[in-house]
Structure 1
Amino acid sequence: MDKPVCFIDTDSAGKLRVQQSALKILEQIQQPVVVVAVVGLYRTGKSHLMNRLAGKQTGFALGSTTESKTKGIWMWCVSHPTKAGTTLVLLDTEGLGDVDKGDPKHDTNIFSLAVLLSSTLVYNSRGTIDNKAVMDLQYVTELSECIKVKSSDEDADDSSEFVKFFPSFIWALRDFTLELKIDGKDVPEDEYLEFALKLKPGTSRSVIEYNFPRECIQKFFPSRKCFTFPFPTAPENMSRLGSLASADISSEFLKVTDHFCKFVFHDSCVKRLKVGHTVTGRVLGHLAKTYVDTISSGAVPCLENAVIAMATIENKAAVKEGLQVYQSEMEKLKDSFPLELKDVFSEHQHLSSTATQAFMKRSFKDTDGKYLKSLEEKIIKLFDEHLCQNEHASKKRCEEILSSLSAPMMVKLKKGFYAKPGGYDLFCKDLEDIVNKYNSQAKKEVKAEEILEEFLKQKSVDSKAILQADKKLTEKEKKIKGKNFKDMNRVMQQPKKFKTQL
């Protein structure tokens, strides 16, 4: 992709929807994906950070006013710079806290989708991590109400279940001007984050309210990282940050940005489901569609249900894919029909194995083997069809061989060549010659015996007729010869009789 596209937006009724054009892009990505989503208050420079991750200066829209520029969730798929065979999917989300949105649940839904879809979640904010900054991340406290792990109401979702599929967490602090010190001592950024998330002792209402969002962040995101970015440039240049040359941007800002990008590239993992299944671009599209449709219907997104829905889609596609592998290669084999049965069966076994491998590569959670069995049944059906086609081709070839070999005999039959004494023996000799030549030429044909049997059955009619004619002609010939012999004998006796009379 040379530029981002809208992934999720709202329709005229204000309901979330997934853009089909984005789904088509994801459908083509069969590689594992690393999904990095950025969330945060509007007008805090999220888009600029995502452009840097994409290795571009521009791409995601940068606003220059107090109005939120990004609407919904935008997506940019690029080749991963350090992980070969992997696609980096960047999700730039609509700024949170925009008072003009109207629907208070909209921000929560956007945040929930970012959590559900990403393998790394970047929370972008300005200034320091004070209590207000933590409270601005109120959406974390609502996650257990907005996301379910299991479909069963009896099994309560707890933080331990969420952790199994929640993304790693990065807090990106923009325009940070303070020194990283705690109690007068220099500390690294991560320690600064942990200090800001430290719980207060006590059980008063104010302490509980103070601790609650911090407890949620700690429980839901056990893997945490912090980066502090200084001002990127002078205030008067901020409105054209996307077009500034590197020389006009703070070297310290570029240094931190480079460190941030390298960390994301190296440490952000491939997106996986709770069951450990690797997410590809295609699967990510299925998940997004399932989650968004669920939210739009007013229900709570459930990971277990999403996995089941995705498994159904993927397994059906896996059956289709495996069958296509088998069918396409068998169609090529069909061009060589007729073949010996052992050759067809051998190729069937090879292609069945290849088709099963293609199925297994794409299938997901086919624990009871339902879809594998479906594939096997479809393959057997196709195999039977190809066997019939091979038999038909074999039958045709055998008939052609016999037609060619028996052509001279047919000419003799029409001319009445065999209609003479001894004709039957001549016919049998010619027929035997045809059979011998046929057996030699058609010995590997699956229909050789059957077609020969039909041919001999047809010729048995001619054989009987020729035999009967032969018998009659031979008998007649004998009678004629007998009569001729008597006549000759009588003639021979005439001189003797004449002499006696003399």
Structure 2
Amino acid sequence: MSAAVSMPQPVCLIENVDGNTLVLNKEAEKILLEISQPVVVIAVVGKYRTGKSYLMNKLAGRRSGFPLGSSIQSKTKGVWMWCVPHPQNPGLTLVLLDTEGLGDVEKGDSKNDAWIFSLAVLLSSAFVYNSLGTIDQQSMEQLHFVTELTKLIKLKSSSEVTDETAEYKRIFPSFTWCVRDFCLILEKDGKAITEDEYLMSSLEMKKGTDKKTQDYNLPRECILHYFHSHKCFVFDRPASKKKLPNLEQLEESELEEEFVEQATKFYRYMIKKSRVKTLDGGIEVTGRMLAVLADSYLKAIQSGSVPCMENAFLALAEIENKGALEDALTKYQCEMDKYIPMFPTETQQQFLTMHKDCEKDAIQVFLGRSLNDKDQKYQHKLKKLIDNLMNEYSTKNENASRDFCRILLQDLSATMESNIMAGKYSVPGGHKLYLMEKLNVIEAYNRMPGKGIKALEVMQEYTSEKKDIEAAIIQADETLTEKERQLAEERAQTENAERERQIMEENNRNLQQRIEDQNRSFEQHKEMLMDKMEQERKMMIQENELVIARKLKEQELMMKSGFDDKISSLQNEIENLRRQNKPKKKRCIVM
């Protein structure tokens, strides 16, 4: 499914059973598991009946799909998913998540709402908050779930870690606030302002330490601190109150012109600016990986614990590394199987060249999927298993050589074998005739190409089998003197010894080539791993630079508001990130 996503309509990703139990839907999980492309995940969250589904249908390029509903009841239960091809990047899949409306009076469980809110943050790369009216204190209070994120999401598993604040901007999604049915004029102090300026103005904090001021500041600080970028869109009412219940059936021409323009603007921004979902270190998440993460988070929630992003990543790495190992071995076997019709190879070096190319392809497959392979545990295992497979293919190559040579000798010596059976060499002068025909067989055998690396051994086996027969022919030939018989026997022994010497030399040469190939294999694994590590470091540096830029912006906002204590903390985080980006000594790789 990685080449083309085909979902005619959304499916439920996370079922909300009886409003208190969240369960991963197997059908949706299967769809995600088949997507090997990186995913851009846009999740929308907000109070029920605020038009969230309309925005998601817009992003899907459809008029319908996610249920809009026309009554005061919430239509979306749990989290629904729609995977569609990315409209601007064929190498990506767009995953849209429409969440159950928060504050549904029929549910009556705010804890359930909090988990849905948290899952939307955990799974998305772009988080859209949808609300009605204006951004005021009431709407901020309705967004109280953001203040609970540190209680509902744990970044690190270690209990010793107390300050995780530096990591939120790296891991959490972007934040977009969509204000629906907006009827105010965008201006401040008599001057026109943009939608983004309206949002940032609304997020300004007040100075003070009293409870009321702290309550006022907390959601604003969390939005600024957790999410790495902030965007705002305001929307007019889409249609008259009479037409709203049938919004799904309305043509675009029947909607308010301003609303259509704003919706188009929202669509273009989200499609262009929403990034691929990434993990710590800039690792891009595929659909398959997203399914594993969703399962890990839900299992943590079901067990009564707090979802830990580090634990989820470690579980994901274990699954991906096992999958990478299987994929790499399959790749090696598939590529080597293509060479089997070419067996036997004329030389062992030819076989080792085939192996080298296939091993390189297998390592690329492994490194392309493996994650956080501590101490190269799985790459060590890969090398060992590829070596075992190589030995199996080497045996097949040798057997192909033996089979070819034996059949060839059988064909070439057919006449000679018939003459032996008929006793044609057991006569005076028979040995000379036998020797001449034996030499003809050997010469014809040596001229034949494609015998492979066991040609000498098979010939040695053949002549050894004929040793007693030739000795009998020599004894039966009355024309031979005793001296001639002795010379004939010595000549046969000399030929046999020479072939043994040649076989030993060839075996030593092949052994040396195998040792050199092992050294070459080690260097190939090491070099390709070093390349991957360098790419990962570049990704980490790039990610850190983005986080630094975001924290500098946050620091600027704190300076404007006069929060000196927070400026110092942010500066420490920035300096720590800059230290991470400094060149480090190259790691010693032990394969």
TM-score normalised to structure 2 length: 0.77
2:311 match: secondary structure: helix
Aligned to 1:401, which of 397, 408, 422?
Answer: 408
8 Å CA contact 1:398, 1:442 repeated in 2: no
Corresponding position of 1:122? 128
Look at both structures and tell me which one has the larger radius of gyration over its CA atoms: 1
Q: How does 1:348-359 map to 2 (within 5 A)?
A: 348-359=355-366
| Larger deviation, residues 290-299 vs 182-191 | 182-191
Whether 1:191 and 2:204 are equivalent positions in the alignment is: no
What per-residue deviation string (whole Å, max 9, x for no partner) do you get for residues 52-102 of structure 1?
A: 111111110111111110011111112222234222111100111112224
Equivalent-residue separation in structure 1 for 2:149 and 2:427 (angstroms): 103
Partner of 1:309: 315
186-195 or 436-445, larger mean C-alpha shift:
436-445
In structure 2, the partner of 1:467 is 474
Contact 1:165 1:273 in 2 (8 A): yes
Secondary structure in 2 matching 1:100: coil
TM superposition shift of 1:445: 2.1
Give percent identity, aligned residues only.
Answer: 47
Give the CA RMSD over aligned residues. 1.8
- Residue in 2 that maps onto 1:438: 445
Q: What residue number does 2:426 align with? A: 419
Q: 1:369 to 1:316 in 2, by over 3 A?
A: same
Q: Tell whether 2:301 aligns with 1:324.
A: no
Question: What letter is aligned with 1:263?
Answer: Y
Matched, 1:15 2:33: no
Aligned equivalents of 1:14 and 1:130: distance in 2?
30
| Match status 1:32 vs 2:44 | no
| Cα contact 1:442–1:448 (8 A) shared by 2 | no
The CA distance in 1 between the partners of 2:450 and 2:323, in whole Å, is: 43
Deviations 1:93-152 (A, max 9, x none): 011111222433211111111101111110001011111110100110110011111110
In structure 1, list runs of 5 or more residues that go unmatched.
476-502
Matched-pair contact (CA < 8 Å) for 2:157–2:310: yes
Relative to structure 1, the CA distance from residue 235 to residue 12 in structure 2 (aligned partners, 3 Å threshold; closer, same or farther) is closer
Per-residue CA distance 1:479-499 (angstroms, 9 max, x = gap): xxxxxxxxxxxxxxxxxxxxx
1:334 lines up with 2:340 in the alignment? yes
Give yes or no for the alignment of 1:258 onto 2:264. Answer: yes
How far off is 1:474 after superposition?
7.8
Q: Does 1:235 align with 2:241?
A: yes
Q: Distance in 2 between matches of 1:432 and 1:302?
A: 78
Aligned partners of 1:463, 1:188: CA distance in 2, in Å? 104
What is residue 548 of structure 2 aligned with on the other side? none
Is 1:169 matched with 2:175?
A: yes
1:282 pairs with 288, 294, 301, which one? 288
Which of 359, 362, 367 is the equivalent residue of 2:369? 362
Counterpart contact for 2:125–2:174, Cα < 8 Å: yes
1:163-202 CA-to-partner distances (Å, cap 9, x unmatched) read: 1111111110111112223333332222222222222222
Q: Is the 8 A contact 1:421 1:474 kept in 2?
A: no
Equivalent residue, structure 2, for 1:66: 72
* Length, aligned pairs only: 475
Cα distance in 1 for residues equivalent to 2:113 and 2:155? 21
C-alpha separation between the residues in 2 aligned to 1:206 and 1:176? 27
Whether contact under 8 Å (2:182, 2:235) holds in the other structure is yes
Q: 1:136 corresponds to which residue?
A: 142
1:299 corresponds in structure 2 to 305
User: How many Å separate the matches in 2 of 1:12 and 1:419?
Assistant: 98
Contact 2:404 2:451 in 1 (8 A): no
Per-residue CA deviation, residues 452-473 of structure 1 (Å, 9 max, x unaligned), is: 1111111111111112222499
- Supply the distance in 1 between the matched residues of 2:452 and 2:147 (Cα, whole angstroms): 74
Q: 1:223 aligns with which of 217, 220, 229?
A: 229
Distance 1:19 1:443, change over 3 A: closer
Bigger mean CA deviation after superposition, 435-444 or 35-44 = 435-444
Structure 1 residue 434: deviation in Å? 1.6
Between 462-471 and 35-44, the greater mean CA deviation after superposition: 462-471
Q: Does 1:5 align with 2:11?
A: yes
Q: After superposition, what is the alpha-carbon deviation per residue over 1:415-455, rounded to whole angstroms, capped at 9, x for unaligned?
A: 11112222222222222222222222267421111111111
Instruction: Check the 8 A contact 2:401/2:451 in 1, yes or no.
Output: no
Q: Secondary structure in 1 aligned to 2:279?
A: coil
What's 2:212 paired with? 206
Report the 3-state secondary structure (helix = DSSP H, G, I; strand = E; otherwise coil) of the residue aligned with 1:124: strand
Correspondent of 1:391 among 369, 385, 398:
398
**Offset at residue 266 of structure 1 (A):** 1.8
Offset at residue 159 of structure 1 (A): 2.7
| Contact 1:172–1:229 (Cα < 8 Å) also in 2 | yes
Comparing 149-158 and 22-31, the one that deviates more: 22-31
Partner Cα separation in structure 1 for residue 163 and residue 75 of structure 2: 35
Return 5+ residue gaps in structure 2 as ranges.
Answer: 1-6, 483-591
**Structure 1 letter corresponding to 2:148:** E
Q: Secondary structure at the match of 2:339?
A: helix
Deviation at 1:240, TM superposition (A): 0.8
- Supply the distance in 1 between the matched residues of 2:274 and 2:424 (Cα, whole angstroms): 91
From 104, 107, 110, the equivalent of 2:110 is 104
1:424–1:249 CA distance, 2 compared to 1 (3 A) = same
Asked whether the 8 Å contact 2:170–2:228 carries over to 1, the reply is no
Alignment equivalent of 1:147, drawn from 153, 172, 175: 153
Decide whether the 8 Å contact of 1:149 with 1:157 is kept in 2: no
Q: In the alignment, which residue of structure 1 is the partner of 2:581?
A: none
User: Residues 183, 97 of structure 1: CA spacing in aligned structure 2 closer, same or farther, 3 A cutoff?
Assistant: same
CA distance 1:135–1:390, shift in 2 (3 Å) = same
Distance in 1, matches of 2:34 and 2:206, equals 50
